[in-house]
């Protein structure tokens, strides 16, 4: 398993929010829920560090389906990549891919 959590600031529902950007998350598919458990651990780290949520991007619809199945929320496309968050949001503005 490999992942990076990056300090990022985004606009969520009209307010600046400090979040962790989920970058380079790779987990070998095992069908045992390891990837989902890792995401839950990242969410706890974000909460413990005072972050509003996790925000990430993925290039493929199949990877997006993994995040949706894990309880994440699709927020549209940004620069042709799927944008998702760990909590439901009405609107999100990001300034870059990570």
Q: pLDDT digit string (tens) for 18-44?
A: 999 999 887 666 667 788 899 999 999
Is 6 part of a structural domain of the chain?
yes
- Domain tally for the chain? 1
Residue 34's pLDDT is 82
Instruction: Give the domain extent around 29.
Output: 2-93
Looking at residue 25, its pLDDT comes to 86
Q: pLDDT tens, 42-60? A: 999 999 999 999 999 999 9
Full-model pTM: 0.91
Answer yes or no: is 13 within a domain. Answer: yes
In a domain, 98, yes or no: no
Provide the sign of the torsion angle of the four alpha carbons 24, 59, 50, 71, taken in this order. Answer: negative
Q: What is the mean pLDDT of residues 11-23?
A: 97
> Rounded to an integer, what distance in angstroms lies between the CA atom of residue 43 and that of residue 55?
10
What is the pLDDT at residue 47?
A: 97
CATH number of residue 78's parent domain: 3.40.630.30
């Amino acid at each position: 398993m490999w992942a990076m959590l990056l300090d990022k600031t985004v606009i969520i529902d009209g307010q600046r929010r400090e979040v962790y950007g989920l970058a380079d998350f790779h987990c070998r598919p095992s069908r045992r829920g390891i990837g989902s458990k890792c995401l839950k651990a990242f969410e706890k780290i974000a909460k413990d560090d005072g972050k509003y949520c996790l925000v990430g991007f993925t290039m493929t619809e199949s990877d997006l389906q993994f995040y949706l199945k894990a309880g994440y929320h699709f927020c549209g496309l940004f620069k042709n990549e799927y944008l998702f968050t760990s909590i439901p949001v009405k609107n999100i503005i990001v300034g870059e891919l990570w």
